[in-house]
Amino acid sequence: MFTGIVEAIGVVKEFIETDTSDVGGYGSSIVITDCRLILEDAHLGDSIAVNGTCVTITDFNSTDFKVGVAPETLRRTNLGDLRPGHKVNLERAVAGHVRFGGHFVQGHIDTTATILSITPDGNAKTFWFQPRDSSVLRFIVEKGFIAVDGASLTVIDVDEVEKKAFSVMLISYTQERIVTSTKQVGDTVNIEVDLMGKLLEKQVTLQIENQLKGQLNATLGGLVEKIVDSKLQHLK
């Protein structure tokens, strides 16, 4: 679990593709350097977010660390586009004593998005992103949370009809601390929508399906009432 508050910007040192076709597959590894700060308390097997993608530390020293990247991760994220010299957002898994300044970020990328436009607004910049999988737009709402390359940002606007895209605004402080501000129109970013929206949709869908099947007589409001009554009885 992460907060979406980027701790450091690392630099890709190596992108290693490993051919393991003789055992039924292949894999990749990425070595990231220039990140001494976040390695002070690192351990083998620790989770770390690289551009918002939760991966596992498989090797490290005082300045570099290595992670393995599965084929599914390469298909779902922009990590496969990384090359030596590219910069990445980094965040360690959240600790119990840390203030939760962003939002609940799992590190499980839903899709990538293409930058459609970048518009200056004073010392801030407005970015429009078009998700590769437009179906995720139903989980993105104005003033809601969104994780872009692992950074917790606030949605400014959503256009599900014409642009099929959403926008965020980066203030000058944020621009200096995440890689998104260095990207150009046409570049891709990793997108993770707010988990609560997906959970809510699933529960509402299940309730509707059950009612249509005749397996549940109570309405959604009745279900909530039953839960409240049950909790009150328990407290008594």
Catalytic residue among 35, 49, 54, 151: 54
Catalytic residue among 8, 15, 29, 56: 56
70 catalytic? Reply is yes
Catalytic residue among 63, 117, 154, 219: 154
CA torsion, ordered 204, 206, 212, 215, to nearest 10 deg: -120
35 catalytic? Reply is no
Amino acid identity of 4?
G
Catalytic residue among 15, 29, 33, 47: 47
Pairing of the two strands 8-20 and 87-92? antiparallel
- Strands (E) across the chain are located at 8-20, 25-33, 47-50, 53-60, 65-69, 87-92, 111-121, 124-131, 145-148, 151-159, 165-170, 188-193
Q: Are 173 and 153 in contact (CB under 8 A)?
A: no
Catalytic residue among 29, 108, 114, 181: 108
Q: Are 7 and 102 in contact (CB under 8 A)?
A: no
Q: Report the alpha-carbon distance of residue 217 to residue 211 in Å, rounded.
A: 6
2 catalytic? Reply is yes
Instruction: Please state the φ and ψ torsions of residue 220, each to the nearest 5 degrees.
Output: -60, -40
Catalytic residue among 2, 127, 129, 139: 2
54 catalytic? Reply is yes
Residues pairing with 57 in the sheet = 67
Cβ burial 223-233 (10 Å sphere, 16+ → b, else e): eeeeeeeeeee
Burial status of residue 135 (CB atoms within 10 A of its CB: 0-12, 13-18, 19 or more): exposed
154 catalytic? Reply is yes
Catalytic residue among 8, 15, 42, 70: 70
Q: Which residues are known to be catalytic? A: 2, 47, 54, 56, 70, 108, 154
